[in-house]
Every structure is written in structure tokens, then in C-alpha cells.
Amino acid sequence: MPEYVCIVCPTGCILNVQEIDGKVIVSGNECARGAAYGENELKNPVRLLTSTVAISGAIHPRLPVVSSQELPKAMIEKCLEEVYKTKALAPVLKGQVIIPNVCGTGADILASRSMALVEAAG
């Protein structure tokens, strides 16, 4: 029987999830949100993607990014490959789209923070 740790709140209930005759049964949850989470984990697990992309012209070499919505867990690795190939250019505003429709998922990869353009010395 698949077991998942519910990550909806810090309590971290251990969920036992099974499908019987097409019906998903979740136990171990202390609230209804855990039941929904357990069912999603079994049928269609999703995650927000958080990472960094290379950026040039800014004070830091990497720009933190986040997906605009949760992505199917099975697509995260492919989307990360796209993120790692991307290079942003300063200036960037928080919330700016860095990669539109990443891997055809319908989600955009957004800047998690603003980064100003740093003027070259000399």
C-alpha cells in the first residue's frame, strides 16, 4: 500500500492510500485536506518547480525562479533541463516570465525576485 507524507501542513501525517474498485481510500490523515492530497499523490502528483537560472549583467550569477503553477511530477525533470539551459538578462522584475509555457505544460517559469542591471566598471 503506497505511503505518503502529507506536506499540506507541518503536522506531516503519514497517509496510507489504496485504490479499491476504482475508489481511492486514504487513511492516516487528520483532516480532509490530507485525503485530497493523498488521492492526488496516487493519481496525479504535482509539484511547484523552484530552481535558478543563469543571469548576466546582474550582481548575482543565478536568478531564483518558480513555476506559475504546479506541474505534473513526471515533467519536473524535463522542465528543469529547460531551466538549466536558460540564460536571463538583467534587469529582471519579480514575477517576470523567464520561460513561457515550459515544456508545453501551460505553466510559465517566473523570476522569484528582481535583479537590477549592474553597470560595468571602468
Residues that bind ligand SF4 (CB under 6 A): 6, 8-9, 11-13, 29-31, 33-34
Nearest approach, Cβ of 87 to ligand SF4 (angstroms)? 39
- Could you tell me the smallest distance in angstroms from the CB atom of residue 12 to ligand SF4? 5
By C-beta, is 13 or 103 nearer to ligand SF4?
13
Facing residues of 38 across strands?
Answer: none
Of 6 and 99, CB closest to ligand SF4: 6
Residue (36 or 54) nearer to ligand SF4, CB: 36
User: In degrees to the nearest 10, what's the CA dihedral of 84, 86, 87, 91?
Assistant: -110
Helix (H) or strand (E) holding 47: strand 46-47
From residue 108, alpha-carbon distances to 3, 7, 8, 46 in Å are 31, 23, 23, 15
